[in-house]
Structure 1
Amino acid sequence: MNRDDLLLGKQVPVVNHYAPELLFPIPRREAREALALPEPLPFEGADIWHAYELSWLDSDDKAQVRVGRFSIPASTPNLVESKSFKLYLNSLNNLVFDDDTAALACIVRDVSAAVGAEVGLAVFDPDDPAIAPGQPSGECIDSAFGRWPRREPDAAMLQCDPASLVEEQLYSHLLRSLCPVTGQPDWATLWLHYRGPALDHAALLSYILAYREHQEFHEQCVERIFRDIQQRCRPEFLHLQAFYTRRGGLDINPFRSSGGGQPPWLRLARQ
């Protein structure tokens, strides 16, 4: 598929029939080459999506509704564009499945085909406490003396102290980037856990604020942040996740780790 087929930013009528062809894959390769990321990749991880408008019909034509948690490995050749994902999921609304197992198998098959590898899918009832809002662990740096630098993010903005080795978890609610297609703002909470030279919190906050006018997809922003912290501070380990707010019934939570890390598996209050 080419970018002319991209549905994002276009007025699209509601699709009332099953339409897996709506899923739009975007190759990860181009953005990673622009970041000069080596092969094998210097991180592992997954893109974790919560789908709040997941519904189909059972064999009695009774509507079923779930909240879905998708896990798309960072190693897949493609990411999936969010509007196409929303439209695909809505195309299932009037499709009849014999049972939940059949519905989930269909969805996993279609999304896996789009991204180029097997994806994970767990589903929850809408009132399941497992998807109740949580809070990131660690220290919020939003009160640090960081300022919007009014320029593009650059690893040189980050400062660390090689004489002070620490292990800490930090987060900020102030990550804002722009969709590279529509220019609309995407808000997120950025969380990181690392061990290594102590990051200067004010400099880190200014670096995060530099994304305020930066145009990139969610997954690409997270990989850029991961690369910059790795290159600038050389931590022993780094786990990083952005919790983007919901748009179109979907939130995206890219997680990248230098190895051995697990995503927090939580949903924040503003999601």
Structure 2
Amino acid sequence: MTQQHDNPYSHASELSGLTLGKSTGYKAEYDATLLQGVPRSLNRDAIALSGDLPFHGVDIWTGYELSWLNAKGKPMVAIAEFFLSHDSKNLIESKSFKLYLNSLNQTKFDSIEQLQHILTTDLSQCAQGDIRVSIIEPKQFGHQRVVELPGQCIDELDIEVTDYSFNPHHLDNSIDSKQVVAETLTSNLLKSNCLITSQPDWGSVMIRYQGPKIDREKLLRYLISFRQHNEFHEQCVERIFMDLKRFCQCTKLTVYARYTRRGGLDINPYRSDFEQPPQSQRLARQ
């Protein structure tokens, strides 16, 4: 039986015009109007994020299916990396992003530099924020490496789970104030659902913190509770960040999630209050 889950954004006007969840045709020629932004405030207001943000960061997108025509009409392929600042007004809705990239397939560009400029211009206008675009040509593919997130994985904890409803109160009484530590913990069990379609989003998450030692079993239960939670990737990471700050009193904190790709795109939000984003490197599931 399919379970129905409450969607706190179901009546949000900001989502009403999205192509996500609707049948759409694919355009094979360049069309920047396909891009759609979603205000970051939609989620941030719900988790009391207003004014000066308590973190900095970036949304790292990898586009594995970038293709276009060169000036002579010859098809070209590449991998693109997009680094969107955390303080852009909008996040970029992923289906619209895929449709937009597909619209390049039969479009001629005189050079990679021209393509890069157009991507940067269009995406920054949609997001209303800073974005950096890097295009990786086939001759550079051999330098791409598969890595794993740094830190100690907590997934081997032998716990029984009977409730999969999102519940931040798994983090209640989850710290030992007598032990102040600096450690990095990871999990591959992060799963949430698309805000609109409820399709599963699979991810791995790294939590690097300084502060009172966090009970790993309670942290794992908290992460598992996202399993049927409906929110965009970026929103989930910011929610995790704020919950850890609230319940675990972290003095320094980084939350970094890498999600598996869908339609040739992966999304990897990074939020921290003390360190800079790492180099983008794909995980085994990506």
Give the TM-score category using the shorter length.
over 0.9
**Is residue 23 from structure 1 mapped to residue 38 from structure 2 by the alignment?**
no
The reply to whether residue 121 of structure 1 matches residue 136 of structure 2 is no
Encode CA deviations 1:69-89: one digit per residue, 9 max, x unaligned. 100001001001100000000
Call closer, same or farther: CA 1:11–1:32 in 2, change over 3 Å: same
Q: Which amino acid aligns with 1:55?
A: S
Equivalent residue pairs, number: 271
**For 1:73-111, what per-residue CA distance to the aligned partner results, in whole angstroms no more than 9, with x for missing partners?**
010010011000000001011111111100100011000
The answer to whether 1:253 aligns with 2:268 is yes
CA distance in 2, matches of 1:88, 1:124: 19
Secondary structure at the residue paired with 1:5?
A: coil
Tell me how far 1:12 sits from its aligned partner: 1.1
Change (3 A) 1:175 1:94: same
Q: Return closer, same or farther for 1:97/1:69 CA change in 2, 3 Å cut-off.
A: same
Structure 2 distance, partners of 1:145, 1:231, is 26
Shift of 1:117: 1.4
> Does structure 2 retain, via aligned residues, the 8 Å contact 1:47–1:255?
yes
Asked if structure 2 preserves the Cα contact closer than 8 Å seen for 1:8 and 1:83, the reply is yes
1-structure distance, mates of 2:130, 2:150: 30
Q: Do the aligned partners of 1:155 and 1:229 also contact (CA within 8 Å) in 2?
A: no
Name the amino acid aligned to 2:167: P
Specify whether residues 261 and 153 from structure 1 end up closer, same or farther in structure 2 by C-alpha distance, changes over 3 A only: farther
After TM superposition, give the deviation of residue 156 of structure 1 in Å. 4.8
Q: Does the CA contact (< 8 Å) of 1:147 and 1:205 recur in 2?
A: no
Secondary structure at the aligned position of 1:83 is classed as: helix
Q: Which amino acid aligns with 1:137?
A: P
Counterparts of 1:260 and 1:141 in 2: how far apart (Å)?
23
Q: Which among 216, 237, 243 is matched to residue 228 of structure 1?
A: 243
Note closer, same or farther for the CA distance 1:200–1:67 as it changes in structure 2 (3 Å cut): same
Contact 1:155–1:231, Cα closer than 8 Å, also in 2: no
Distance in 2, matches of 1:38 and 1:5, equals 25
Q: Which amino acid aligns with 2:150?
A: S
Letter in 2 for 1:34: A
Structure 2 counterpart of 1:5: 17
Alignment RMSD (CA, Å): 1.5
With normalisation by structure 1, the TM-score equals 0.96
For 1:193 and 1:186, locate their aligned partners in 2 and report how far apart those are by CA, in whole Å.
22
Residue 153 (str. 1) matches residue 167 (str. 2): yes
Give the direction of change, closer, same or farther, for the CA distance of 1:178–1:147 in structure 2 (3 Å limit).
farther
Task: Note the residue ranges of structure 1 that are not aligned, 5 or more in a row.
Answer: none
Unaligned runs of 5+ residues in structure 2 are 1-12
Give the structure-2-normalised TM-score. Answer: 0.91
User: Are 2:74 and 1:59 equivalent residues in the alignment?
Assistant: no
Offset, 1:147: 4.3
Pick aligned residue for 2:102 from 90, 93, 99: 90
User: Residues 146 and 108 of structure 1: is their aligned pair in 2 closer, same or farther, counting only changes over 3 Å?
Assistant: farther
For 1:140, which of 153, 164, 189 is the aligned residue?
153
Aligned to 1:242: 257
Shift of 1:263: 3.1
CA distance in 1, matches of 2:178, 2:267: 36
Verify the 8 A CA contact 1:196 1:237 in the aligned structure 2. Answer: yes
Give the stretch that moved more between structures: 77-86 or 11-20: 11-20
Matched residues in 2 for 1:213 and 1:110: separation?
33
Partner amino acid, structure 2, of 1:136? L
- Higher mean alpha-carbon deviation, 120-129 vs 217-226, is at 120-129
Identity %, equivalent residues:
41
Query: Do structure 1's residue 206 and structure 2's residue 227 form an aligned pair?
Result: no
